[in-house]
Amino acid sequence: MIYIACGSVIMVVGIIWLINPPRKPHPLYGYYSYLAQTNSTSFKFAQKKASLYFILFGGIQLLIGVGVHLLNWDRYFLIWLLTFYLFLVFPIMATEKSLKKFLIDRHELPHDYVNPDDVKHEKTKGFRDRK
């Protein structure tokens, strides 16, 4: 049931963003990231892609939830509870990846952008990591 509920909410958010996209970057409504705020075209591109990815992954999660319910696998609730959040992460990852490619193709990637996969941390004594 958690897949059905979460998938439905993700799909509704994607549909709302598709029907009524935000006009300017706002942390409470719309897709809000560093790359999306680069310029107005990247913001519009990010809103469109995020809404489509949210609809896609919300629909996939909804279908999985219906399949789980029809197959009577509801008793494996712990598995569904530990994996449902992945469908919240996937559309964000896909949007950031396509937005980065969009900005690279237009030669508009910010010069201070750091790819999160390239960051290496060194362990130090204490509570901080050195970059």
Burial 9-43 (b: 16+ CB within 10 A, else e): ebbebbeebeeebeeebeeeebbbbebbebeeebb
Percentage above 70 pLDDT, the chain: 93
pLDDT tens sequence across 1-12: 889 999 999 999
Note whether 42 and 55 are within 8 A (CB): no
Instruction: Find the range with the poorest average confidence among 32-36, 57-61, 109-113, 115-119.
Output: 115-119
Mean pLDDT of the chain: 90
